[in-house]
A and B are shown apart, each in its own frame.
Chain A
Amino acid sequence: MRHELRPEDIEVFSEAITHFFNTCTGETANVRSAYLIEHGPAVLWNDFNGLIEISGAYTGSVCFSAPRALLSHVLLKMGESVFTDDRHADIVGEIANTLSGRARRHFGEGLSIAPPRLLNYGEQSLPNISGNLPYAIPLGWHGYEASLVVQLAPGP
């Protein structure tokens, strides 16, 4: 039985990200108050965006969006010395993978999750779900701000 989205269905993603930052950088990311994106998600798009698309019991997507500077800092904290676009994209991909794994554990096998993909800057291909506004959860880390955009609705 599919249910309307519950707070814990959103929290699972913010927890996954904070856990990632804690584990990989040893420093906590501060989750700010979540809000609804009312006028399209374009303003959220940072330099690097990792998207996982979900279908099955719930449909929609979860996107992690972060500026280059934040990711560079994360790479530095992880002891990396190469700061190419690919390495930045790898981090976003890894976070998207973490989100995907956590989603699968939380929602069970009834959910089909596509492999994470990277959205280019400005690419607005986030699938829109009518009647449900996406949730934005901003995360502060070392003065930078990344965003998690969760847009999920019970599947057809």
Chain B
Amino acid sequence: MKTLLASLFGKYRDLVLAIGIFLLLDAGVSAINIYTSRQIEADASRINAAGLLRTYAQQLTKGLLTLEMDLRNGQRTQSSLAEISEARLGFDDARLALEKKLAQPSALPLIEPESLRQHAQELLASVVRTWEPIDREVGPLIVNADPDPESAARAVQKAVTRNNRLTQQADDLSETLTEMANKKTSTVRLIQAIAISLAFLNFAFILFKFIGRLAASDRQTAAAREETERILGSVREGLFLLTSKRTVGGQRSQSLDRIFGQQLQPGADFLAFLGRLTSTANAEAARDYIDLLFNKKMKQSLLEQLNPLVEIELLAEQRTKKSPSYLTFEFNQIRENGQVVALLVTVFDVSQKVRLEHQLAGAEARADNEIALLLGILDHNPHEVADFLSRARDTLQLINGELQSIQPLRQPYPQMVNRIARIVHGLKGEAATLGCSSISRAAHAFEDILQPLRGRNDLAGDDLIPVAVALSTLLSEIVKVEAVVKRVQHFAGGKSDAPPPDPLGDSLRRIEQYALRVAEDLNKQVRFEAAVPRLDHLPPALASVLREAVPQLVRNAIAHGIEAPADRLRHGKPATGLVRVELTSEADGTLTMTIHDDGCGLSVEQLRGVLIERELYSPAEVAALSDAQVIATLFEAGVSSLDSAHQHAGRGDGLAVVKAALRDLGGRLRVNSRANSHTRFIMQIKPA
């Protein structure tokens, strides 16, 4: 209420006062009108009374003349007496009324001047003075039912002699009263005209004042709007108000459409818009967050850290070429009387920032990878690594050639996939032993691509597109490592080209490093032992076995044979498992390479179960297999005793690679195992 009054008598005080005066003037004119109508009524009554004086005076004279005639003719006088009496009473009544009205002083002397009233009183007094002698003669006359003619004659004489004067005086009175009324009327009209003029002036004042103020206010509003439009037109961020109904307000910055890549119409449902712009998860998180912001108990400063709309990625289909791909939204509560009535939403295009961050992260990751790659390679002989890379490249080119030349028949595709799987598995093992972890990872990813294709007999050409992509990835990884190795070789100044003094020991040290790394990855403890003669040079067949077969067998020994430390302790074994590599040379030059582990050994029963479970063989076929035949299945591609693949085992290709390598060398492979005791793979290679 106070506020209302303050505003009434503050900004609009002039207006309120002017309207008040206007109303007062209006009320004054109305009051004058009422007063005037009453005065006109009173004036009419007075003029009428003056007229009655004249009428009754004449009626009396006429009555007296009639009485005299009646007396003279001896006729009855009752009628004329009654007329006289009536005229006398009427005159007295009119006179008394007039005296009474004229005796009252004027309520508004301005309207009815006192002088005029006194003049009228004087005129009435003269009428009364003329009347009284007549009245004195008539009085006794009318009380007598049988008047004498003399009295009547005297009365007639008085009346007749005074009649003209009385009439004249009554007329004068009447005229004076009419003049009074006219004067009064014209004065009132003047006052009314002045009051109406004042009211009109007042109205004009109000009008001009009000219009002036409106125009000024309009100018201010237009200037403010122009300023707002300039701000909203030039600000780079997207700005708009979000109402409590979660709709977009009417004022919005022009950059908004550019930032969103589409129009956000005023009144649009913001949450639905957001749902189209970004992922469902983001939109739902935003809905909850906005609900929190509209809660009056929630302080904005507490909620800022919860904002889910920071660096959100826009959906690909919503993007245009020039539109941003990452946005950040900021929300500011707008409070009125303690309630959150709206949110000021600021939208920032952070695409450039995010892109730079990603590029930076990518560059850092690449640098880290390159450092890791360099460190991994520095542990090994660059010559051997380069040799491996060259062979790997050749092998992949062979795969590519096969992809290019294979006939599009159903049968060759599955065979080719198995072949590629074995090759890639072999590369993975070699890469791992040479510290080329990035190649090893790429090969593992390649195997992941191949895995679902294996065992499918309905392969078509387009199923193999992922194979080509994985091939390209592995190839580019090899090219990358080759570049690093070349730099290392260049740095070493060509010294690395010289053959190592102890090639066998060098290879075994590499295999030992690899074995320890696999064990660490699988949370196992392993001791690596080697019992080999010193050789000045490596026979090519042995080099091939050391490169391809031994790493696979050592890896298998750790992945499948050596148990976890806790399991080993439970079985009464030392926590650290043993992997032992032995090489013996016979007189005829036959080399025997043994890879022994003191792990869990091969379980024929478990293998039978795996073959049935994976539907590699029917239960009847498995039942028909001898133990040796069951163990022989381990050398088939795709058979593994592990439930799931990890980077070091589980795809069932390792032993297939070993078998293929030995077959190429014309060697033999034997397996010797006892459950919970050991497994031993023995490779025999005859001299070429």
Contacts and interface: CB of A to CB of B under 8 A. Distances in A.
B403 A132 contact: no
A10 interface: yes
B316 A33 contact: no
A89 B467 CA distance: 32
Given A1-B358, A112-B321, A6 B408 contact: no
B479 A34 contact: no
Given A30-B408, A140-B408, A5 B316 contact: no
A38 interface: yes
Contacts of B416: 33
Interface in A101-134: 107-112, 131-133
A43 B427 CA distance: 30
B321 A56 contact: yes
Contact of B462 (A11, A36, A110, A136): A11
A10 B476 contact: no
A14 interface: yes
B351 to A, nearest CB: 10
B461 interface: yes
Interface residues of B, number: 37
Contacts of B23: none
Contacts of B408: 30, 32-33, 140
Nearest to B316: A108
Nearest to A11: B465
B586 interface: no
Interface string B125-152: 0000000000000000000000000000
A54 to B, nearest CB: 12
B460 interface: yes
B325 interface: yes
Nearest to B313: A1
A146 interface: no
B475 interface: yes
A35 B468 contact: yes
A135 B321 contact: no
A10 B320 CA distance: 22
B626 interface: no
A135 B461 contact: no
A75 interface: no
B472 A36 contact: yes
Contact of A131 (B320, B462, B476): B476
B472 A135 contact: yes
B321 A33 contact: no
Interface in B455-475: 460-462, 464-473, 475
Most buried by B among A7, A18, A34, A131: A34
A36 B475 contact: yes
Name the prevailing secondary structure of the A interface residues. Answer: mixed
Nearest to B323: A109
B538 interface: no
A7 B469 contact: yes
Interface in A41-97: 56
Contacts of A36: 400, 403, 468, 471-472, 475
Contact of A6 (B325, B400, B469): B469
Interface string A1-36: 100111100110011001000000000001111111
B217 interface: no
A38 B471 CA distance: 12
A137 interface: yes
B397 A38 contact: yes
Given A109-B319, A132-B476, A31 B460 contact: yes
Interface in B434-462: 449, 460-462
Contacts of A30: 408, 460-461
A60 B467 CA distance: 21
A11 B463 CA distance: 9
B404 A35 contact: yes
Contacts of B470: 7
A112 B319 CA distance: 12
Given A30-B461, A32-B408, A132-B476, A10 B319 contact: no
B336 interface: no
B223 interface: no
Given A10-B465, A109-B321, A132-B472, A35 B403 contact: yes
B486 to A, nearest CB: 15
B461 A33 contact: yes
A4 B246 CA distance: 39
Nearest to B469: A7
Interface string B385-424: 0000000000001001101101010000100100000000
A76 to B, nearest CB: 23
A104 to B, nearest CB: 10
Interface string B292-336: 000000000000000000000100110111010100000000000
A147 B385 CA distance: 37
Nearest to B476: A131
Contacts of A108: 316-317, 319
Contacts of B473: 4
Contact of A33 (B358, B413, B472, B475): B413
Nearest to B460: A31
B359 to A, nearest CB: 10
A138 B316 CA distance: 30
Contacts of A107: 316
B460 A34 contact: no
B309 to A, nearest CB: 18
Given A1-B358, A140-B408, A34 B468 contact: yes
A122 to B, nearest CB: 21
Nearest to A112: B321
Contacts of B462: 11, 14-15, 18, 31, 137
Contacts of B323: 109
A135 B325 CA distance: 29
B466 A133 contact: no
7 contacts: A31-B465, A33-B413, A33-B461, A34-B461, A34-B468, A35-B400, A138-B461
Shortest 7 CB-CB distances between A and B: which pairs?
A108-B316, A7-B466, A34-B468, A35-B403, A33-B464, A32-B461, A31-B462
Given A32-B406, A34-B461, A133-B472, 8 more contacts: A5-B472, A6-B469, A14-B465, A34-B468, A35-B400, A108-B317, A137-B461, A138-B461
